[in-house]
Amino acid sequence: MKEVNIIINGISLSVPEEETVLEAARRINIEIPTLCHMDLENLKAVNKEASCRVCVVEIEGRRNLAPACVTKVGEGMVIKTNSPRAIRGRRTSVELLLSNHPFDCLICEKNGSCDLQALAGQLGIYGELKYQGEQTTYPKDESSYSIKRNLDKCILCRRCETMCNEVQTCGILSATGRGFDTIVSPTFGLPMIETACTFCGQCVAVCPTAALSEISSIGQVWEELYNPDKFVVVQTAPAVRVALGEEFGLPPGHSVTGKMVALLRKLGFDRVFDTDFAADLTIMEEASELIHRLEHKGTLPILTSCCPGWVKFFEHQFPDLLDIPSSCMSPHEMFGAITKSYYAKKYNIDPDKLVVVSVMPCLAKKYEAARPELGMEGNQNVDFVLTTRELAKMAKEASIDFLNLEEEDFDHPMGESTGASVIFGATGGVIEAALRTAYEWLTGTTLEHVDFEELRGLEGIKEATVKINDMELNIAVAHGLGNARTLLENIRAGNSRYHAIEIMACPGGCIGGGGQPYHQGEIETLKARTQAIYEEDKGKAMRKSHENPYIQKLYQEFLGQPYGEKAHELLHTHYVKRVKL
């Protein structure tokens, strides 16, 4: 690629001619402030709107300031990123954004983690605003159980639009209107619950303000914990333990399992269980379903069904393929079903007084918990879902010194798990866990090498072939709904050669979920969380789901055979054809 010679702040350098001024400046450790800019290199997506004008620089010979994020370098270009004119231009841009922004920072969902707030401080914008005038006012949308839209706080950066349309290919959000009346909205301004939104929360993950945030369940959970007539149990997803520490200053990838358990007990939960137990249960059912389809010429490929964002995606986008995904509920829903049946009966607890709270890395789980088919006799399997971020907020509300908590163990019987269940939190983990069990059931031999490393990593679509007896099992793994679409379109066209496919809606799988600590697409953060997941797997005494003694006992005492009648009644579900709006 041809290189050009430029000067930035008096420093001469040569850079590829396709680079932007922002990219060139970063080569010499000059950080230009940005707001709307978002470069998700690992997801092959860049927000190129240049709408905020926060990154303006002065270029010799040009009359107007130029946005560094979209301005390409040119031979002989002389750039000043820190001139008085450039600094004034940035300050003016932020002041204009603030002039049409609510002043409720102290009670805002993103107070302390708002990019606009941080920029105002960085640029020295204090006291009375220079620009004042009419402010837009729109009704809030909290229809979806998962995502709250507050357009009064939207700065039209359109990061959410890039994530929704380019990465996830859902096409829910787009800019409409002109001038002062411009908004980012679903088609016809529909409430989110009436759209094909999957509630994956990736739009929330990249929103720089609180225009998009999760619908909080913190208040409702506190009420249940304070109620002496309720028996409140909590379960925690595998991805939570490798990200929660970030909310308390620990580096990404630091596993805090024991401290997390101690925190939940201090918050007042009557029992602290592990969704990993239900992940082992999921493998018992999903591996059985895979084997049943292979041996009875059933519909192939089988698709994993643990991810509610992915489930809603195929219900809207591929309703003609509803017979392909596994009928297994997601692990936290299986946990809720078993808790309100087997556990309640075994320990003589009134199911009407039993409250199940899930701590999840995911916003779609909030929507999933409200799906009417995921319950029994009008009682939902899971009552409330908290995100990783919400759990951290509760700890801070209760003034708990998280970092100095002594590590504790989960309660039994639904706190015991295997390494296979832990890796559910990373892309490729579900299908790897299923293979560990399916291999031994199909061959009748012990699988000595349980690490299917070819299914790991952050490549968008991964493939592997696993030889079991005289059969070669073709496997695919995808994370991110854009990659899922590629696989589903191949299946629809009759071009798929796979027997089993794992799909997760979020980049990296659950470790990159929309309810996790904000990572702004930083690939190293996702890698660190993933590594911590696999380290926890390696440290487990048991690494195959069917080895879990409490799972074996559950089948002996209550469920009968895996994939049997009782298991279908409690642990399996069905899917719904949905409109594509």
Catalytic residue from among 109, 247, 285, 368:
368
Lowest mean pLDDT among 97-106, 399-408, 555-564: 97-106
Catalytic residue from among 144, 326, 358, 496:
326
Give the phi and the psi of residue 38 in degrees, each rounded to 5.
-150, 115
CATH 3.90.650.10 fits 136-214, yes or no: no
Query: In angstroms, rounded to a whole number, what is the distance separating the alpha carbons of residues 166 and 44?
Result: 9
Q: Where are the domains of the chain?
A: 3-99, 136-214, 218-571
Query: In angstroms, rounded to a whole number, what is the distance separating the alpha carbons of residues 459 and 63?
Result: 44
Confidence grade of residue 500 (pLDDT, cut at 50, 70, 90): very high
Phi-psi region of 152 (alpha: psi -120 to 50; beta: other; left: phi over 0): alpha
Contact between 279 and 417 (Cβ < 8 Å): yes
Report the DSSP pairing between strands 183-185 and 174-176. antiparallel
373 classed as catalytic: yes
Quick one: three-class SS letters along 114-170? Answer: CHHHHHHHHCCCCCCCCCCCCCCCCCCECCCCCEEECHHHCCCCCHHHHHHHHHCCC
Q: Is pLDDT above 80 for 581?
A: no
Query: In angstroms, rounded to a whole number, what is the distance separating the alpha carbons of residues 326 and 501?
Result: 10
Residue 530 pLDDT = 97
Q: Is pLDDT above 90 for 431?
A: yes
The DSSP bridge partners found for residue 174 are: 185
DSSP assignment of 465-530, as one string?
EEEETTEEEEEEEEESHHHHHHHHHHHHTT----SEEEEESSTTGGGG-TTSSP-TT-HHHHHHHH
Contact between 391 and 240 (Cβ < 8 Å): yes
Architecture of the domain spanning 218-571: 3-Layer(aba) Sandwich (3.40)
Catalytic residue from among 18, 60, 223, 373:
373
Cα Rg, the chain, nearest whole Å: 25
What are 117's two structure tokens? Answer: 């707030």
Residue 378 pLDDT = 83
109 classed as catalytic: no
Catalytic residue from among 108, 306, 328, 362:
306
| pLDDT over 70 percentage in the chain | 99
Contact between 108 and 101 (Cβ < 8 Å): no
289 classed as catalytic: yes
Residue 553 pLDDT = 97
Residue 273 pLDDT = 98
153 classed as catalytic: no
Burial class (CB in 10 A: 0-12, 13-18, 19+), 226: exposed
Q: What value does the mean pLDDT take over residues 477-501?
A: 95
Catalytic residue from among 114, 185, 510, 536:
510
Catalytic residue from among 289, 315, 333, 547:
289
Q: What value does the mean pLDDT take over residues 305-318?
A: 97
Contacts of 207 (CB under 8 A, 6+ apart): 159, 160, 213
Secondary structure tally for the chain: helices H, strands E: 19, 21
Contact between 115 and 209 (Cβ < 8 Å): yes
Q: What is the pLDDT of residues 103-150, one digit of tens each?
A: 899 999 999 899 999 999 999 998 888 888 888 899 999 999 999 999
Sheet holding 3-8, edge to edge: 11-16, 3-8, 78-80, 56-59, 66-67
Residue 523 pLDDT = 86
197 classed as catalytic: no
Query: In angstroms, rounded to a whole number, what is the distance separating the alpha carbons of residues 115 and 110?
Result: 9
What are 429's two structure tokens? Answer: 């983990």
What is the chain's mean pLDDT, rounded?
95
Phi-psi region of 513 (alpha: psi -120 to 50; beta: other; left: phi over 0): beta
| pLDDT over 90 percentage in the chain | 91
286 classed as catalytic: yes
Domains 136-214 and 218-571 share a fold: no
Architecture of the domain spanning 3-99: Roll (3.10)
Q: Is pLDDT above 80 for 290?
A: yes
365 classed as catalytic: yes
Global pTM?
0.94
Q: Which of 282, 429, 279, 306 has the alpha carbon at shortest distance from 362?
A: 306
Q: Which of 151, 39, 154, 20 has the alpha carbon at shortest distance from 79?
A: 20
Q: Is pLDDT above 70 for 63?
A: yes
Give the phi and the psi of residue 515 in degrees, each rounded to 5.
-105, 5
Extended strands (E) in 412-460:
none
Give 131 or 279, the one with higher predicted confidence. 279
Q: What value does the mean pLDDT take over residues 167-190?
A: 92
What are 349's two structure tokens? Answer: 């607890």
Residue 109 pLDDT = 92
Q: What value does the mean pLDDT take over residues 488-505?
A: 95
Cα four-point dihedral sign 385, 390, 394, 395 = positive
Q: Is pLDDT above 80 for 534?
A: yes
Residue 38 pLDDT = 86
Contact between 200 and 364 (Cβ < 8 Å): yes
Catalytic residue from among 148, 312, 365, 544:
365
326 classed as catalytic: yes
Q: Is pLDDT above 80 for 23?
A: yes
Catalytic residue from among 109, 286, 432, 502:
286
